[in-house]
Amino acid sequence: MTAAALTHLDEDEKLFRDTVRRFARERIQPLVRQMDEACVLDKGILKQFFELGLMGIEIPEEYGGQGGNFFQCMLAIEELAAVDPAAAIVVDIQNSIVNNAVMRWGTEEQKRQYLPRLANDTIGAYALSEAGAGSDAFALTTAAVEDGSEYRITGRKLWISNAAEAGLFVLFANINPAAGYKGITAFLVDRNTPGFQVGKKEDKIGLRASSTCELILDNVRVPKTSVLGEPGKGYKIAIETLNEGRIAIGAQMTGLAQGALDHAVKYAKERKQFGKAIGEFQAVQFDLARMAIDVEASRLLVYNSARLRDAGQPYIKEAAMVKWYASEIAEKVASKAVEIHGGVGVTKDYPVEKLYRDAKIGRIYEGTSNIQLMTIARKLLG
């Protein structure tokens, strides 16, 4: 597949991308600073995500979704992240992880119960991480004990994105700790289930409007019909959904980098020193050129991985590559954008300082950069 084929968008894809881009710039951009300072996403924006169909892009039309594809999800995430990565993460998690998990492993009854909600009015969250289960994701201690026709879930989850707003959680617990990771099971848990509590919201350096909370589970009773997939096969669900999620993080970081580059180019045309725009100085021109190269290379990796996934081709190595590379260049490009802005770049009056803060998490969540390198190396070595 050539680079031209990777970057080519058909007319429907262009229309979709441009619609999301226009929405992001017209509706989200005026609220970015306010949401960042308040550490909360505007409820009107969340409502519009549903109205535009951005929360159920791949969900089939029979379940109330848009019947689109994974590639379209990546286009949406990239365009939203160019304006506000914190807003983009809501659409990211909903489509790349939560919806996909239910569509792939849900029973027909579960699909009919949950997919229309996810497409139209319910935000989802993915509850895997714990205090002792980060990169070693399967070291989780949250336990689910069989009790007649139910399971009783007890434990604590940390770093759960979308938790403050979510109404549905794909939650992982171990039904047989003696079996290790083979006891891990995925459950679909409603927020209003007795014993389920959303706890402390983390005060983060970046993505501040996006909620990241702990979950407290105190004998949460769920019916056995809430098991997603098969008991003891939760590790498989986690691995496969996170592989897809890494492409989405790549799209988010690519969008962030593009946003930082756009701001840097605009400022370089406007800011004058020594009698001319700083964009006329070769040193600044070369910085901008290198930034543009990095952004385009990142975009190619995202598009390639997404196209492979939609085509049913192997993409695990490529997903790890895009997660590693996009998160590296997002931090690099955002940092350089701050430098091009000079002193004002570190003030909140200009958007690049926020993008710089938002970029840091890219190398950490949904698999650290070292985890991605391990995955790539293992695939290379067979």
| Residues that are catalytic | 366
Report which of 355, 356, 340 is spatially closest to residue 277, judged by C-alpha positions.
Answer: 340
CA distance 210 to 364: 16
Answer for the pair 222, 193: CB distance below 8 angstroms, yes or no.
Answer: yes
Q: Which helix (H) or strand (E) holds 189?
A: strand 184-190
Record the tokens describing residue 39, joined without a space. Answer: 């550490």
Give the span between the Cα atoms of 118 and 95, in whole angstroms.
9
Backbone angles phi, psi at 219, to 5 degrees: 55, 50
Helices (H), the chain: 3-7, 11-23, 32-38, 43-51, 70-83, 85-93, 100-105, 108-120, 234-270, 282-310, 316-341, 352-359, 369-381
Q: What are phi and psi of 359, to 5 degrees?
A: -70, -30
Residue 341 identity: H
CB 198 within 8 A of CB 191: yes
- What is the Cα–Cα distance from 259 to 261, expressed in whole angstroms? 5
Give the list of residues 6+ apart from residue 153 with CB closer than 8 angstroms, or none.
142, 143, 144, 145, 171, 173, 187, 189, 195, 217, 219, 220, 221, 222
